[in-house]
Amino acid sequence: MGSMAQALRFPIRFSSGNGILFRGLLISPSNSFVELDEESIPVRLGWAFSAQIPRRLVARAGPGRPPRIPLTAGAHGWNGRWLVNGSPHGIVAIALTEPVRAFVAGFPVKLRHLAVSLEDPDAFLAALGAPPA
C-alpha cells in the first residue's frame, strides 16, 4: 500500500433518530469517526468512546453483523468486545491480535474486538487493506 499523506476519516453512521438523541448528549457526527493513517486507527464517539489502535495489531477486519438488539446505539461491550454505533447498519468488525486500552466515558477498558457503524464501511475496509474476516 502506498504512503498516506494524511489520515483518512470515516464518519460513524447515525440513524436519524439516534443523530438527534446523540446531539442531545453532546455527541455530534463531527466528533464521531474512525481515522486511518499509516500507524494507527483512532476511534471516537464524542466523549463516550475513544481508542487508539495500532494498525500492526489488526488480525482481520470485514463486514460485521448488525446488533442483536436493533435499536441499540452508543458504546457498549464486555470482556474486550465492544460495539460503537449510531446505527444498526454499516457495521465493520475489527479483531486485534492483542488487547489495547480504550476509554468508555473516560473509564479504561480492554479492547480486543471492535464493531463500529460507518457511513462507508466498504471504503474503510478497502483503505485498511486488512486480511478479510
Decide if pLDDT at 86 tops 50.
yes
Residue 34: the pLDDT is: 97
Among the listed ranges 60-64, 71-75, 82-86, which one has the minimum average pLDDT value? 71-75
Tell me if 76 is assigned to some domain: yes
Q: Which residue has the higher pLDDT, 20 or 127?
A: 127
CA–CA distance, 55 with 90 (Å, rounded to integer): 21
Domain hosting residue 122, numbered range: 8-128
Tell me if 15 is assigned to some domain: yes
Tell me if 133 is assigned to some domain: no
Place of cell 468488525: 93
Residue 36: the pLDDT is: 96
Closest CA to 15 of 64, 66, 88, 92: 88
Tell me if 88 is assigned to some domain: yes
Tell me if 77 is assigned to some domain: yes
Q: What is the tally of structural domains in the chain?
A: 1
Residue 66: the pLDDT is: 79
Q: Are 108 and 125 in contact (CB under 8 A)?
A: no
Q: What is the DSSP letter of 51?
A: E
Decide if pLDDT at 116 tops 80.
yes
Phi, psi of 73 (to 5 degrees): -155, 150
Task: Provide mean pLDDT across the span 20-38.
Answer: 84
Q: What is the DSSP letter of 56?
A: G
Amino acid occupying residue 77: G
Task: Please tell me whether the overall predicted TM-score, pTM, comes out greater than 0.85 for this model.
Answer: yes
Tell me if 1 is assigned to some domain: no
Sign of CA dihedral 49, 10, 36, 85: positive
Q: Are 39 and 52 in contact (CB under 8 A)?
A: no
CA–CA distance, 60 with 46 (Å, rounded to integer): 25
Tell me if 89 is assigned to some domain: yes
